[in-house]
Chains A and B, each alone.
Chain A
Amino acid sequence: MVTKDTMSSLEVRNWLLDQPEGETLLRCYQCGRCTSACPVADIEPSFNPRLFLQKILLSDELIAEEQLVWNCLTCEQCEVRCPEHVKIPHILILAKVRGLMKGNVPAAALDRARNILSIGRSLEVSSPMLKTREKMGLPDLGTPPMDQIVAMLVDIGIVGKIEKAESIYGGTENE
């Protein structure tokens, strides 16, 4: 489902609960096992998956400004331990999506997304890279059909959004 730029927290909650993975949130009974299993919570006490889920359930406005959701590794150690099989990392990913137009996205993530939407690769393919492949006897992989890919994404509007988006997040520049 395509997100709008100006969703209220209640709309985000309903949008999320409308999807099969998001709907698993309703099974959460706040036992906190996810947080005990989480390697980020272990080193950063203010990162608390259980609390993020509670905020989303309660349509707390703050979740939109919650930069900390970007500290989720998507490692799924929480989900493995959750007695209710709540799709926690998937839900946190959906919580991130809303931040794009507010700039709540790390600069390096934005750069990667721009590459993917313009050249179909997450990194710029340089001629030395191509030469190395040739020297190793590895086949040429061609170039992805970007016209086709961009045309397919029209109703999502991502290409226009990503042009306008700016990161206020900072984060790590180099990779």
Chain B
Amino acid sequence: MSKARTYTYFPGCMIPYRLPHFELTMREVLKKLGVELETSPDHSCCPEPTTFTGVDFEAWVTIAARNVAVSESTGNDTVAMCSGCFHTLAVANHMVHEDQELRERINKRLKKSGLEVTGDHSVKNLLHVLHNDIGIEAIQKQVTNPLKQLKIAPHYGCHLVRPLEATNMDHAENPQWMDAIIRATGAEVAEFENKMACCGAPIMPADEQKSLTVTSKHLKHIKASGADAIVVLCPTCYTQMETQQGKVEAIAETEFNLPVLSLGELLALSMGLSEIVTENQRRYHRVKLTELLEKAGVGGA
């Protein structure tokens, strides 16, 4: 194994407290790949980019830039597992880097606590870390249980990918990095209509009916591809497409029965770490994984 890489892990709120199995599985996978994560108690909520922005944008960008400043002070690159956190930090980072007036305004506020933000820091998501820093070959080397029977639909989600100038992702409408990671596990990548469709979650607080309608269109496209499961990085996309799948089914008047896995769970299944998936499946998955686990050759629990 190559020497350990250390990142500052930005935890946020949803993954550590609502869906900790995302963190657990990804930590174990990263450990296998020689990655260490450090946390800082000074990090707060990112804040989330879908509603707090519209309550007070200036407060949002200030708190976000403060979190980037905390990251800068650690000296390591930052990785956020949640797409909302990643988006917030990446956008704030980009904004303070590009806009001198904004940078000065925020640094005046940060001065009181001895922090400073430059915008030169590297804010990453898990695809940057897995695909670019670790690399597909190194991932493949750890795959001991190739998931040959599975067809997996990659759901990138909006905030992980756009806007490109802040996210440093590969493509706004046809990103490829998660596809490559899925293939590395031995699974087939499902092709479906409108790959970069939104999960619908951001407008749940404003209009549940419309939100779930957006979701139902997306799930219909994925279902039609014959996928065995959807893979996500974002806990909010997960909540919308998994936890709320029953409500989506009611609106769509059809049964989807589509399991959703976090990328950490998929990788864990392929790397001989299936116990951490099966141990937590009943608590965190409403859509049963039984069939999927059988196809993955690990049996249910």
Contact = CB atoms under 8 A, between A and B. Distances in A.
A115 B205 CA distance: 15
Interface of A: 1-3, 19-20, 39-40, 43-44, 67, 69-77, 79-80, 87, 93-94, 96-97, 99-100, 105-110, 112-113, 115-117, 120-123, 125, 129, 132-133, 136-139, 141-146, 148-149, 151-153, 155-156, 158, 161-162, 169, 171-172, 175
Contacts of B24: 136-138
Given A75-B158, A129-B17, A109 B204 contact: no
Contacts of A112: 48, 51-52, 205
Given A74-B49, A120-B45, A172 B58 contact: no
Contacts of A75: 158, 162, 198, 202
A90 to B, nearest CB: 9
A43 B162 contact: no
A39 B214 contact: yes
Interface residues on B, range: 35 or more
Interface stretch (B59-67, B179-187, B225-233): B59-67
Contacts of A19: 99
Contacts of B98: 20
Interface string B207-234: 1101101100100000000000000000
Contacts of A40: 203, 210, 214
Contacts, number: 203
A123 B45 CA distance: 9
A115 B208 CA distance: 21
A164 B63 CA distance: 21
Given A73-B203, A109-B52, A152 B58 contact: no
Contact of A172 (B42, B47, B163, B206): B206
A174 to B, nearest CB: 9
Given A116-B63, A156-B62, 17 more contacts: A1-B105, A2-B58, A70-B205, A76-B162, A79-B163, A87-B163, A96-B55, A97-B54, A109-B55, A109-B205, A113-B51, A121-B44, A138-B24, A141-B39, A151-B113, A153-B109, A171-B207
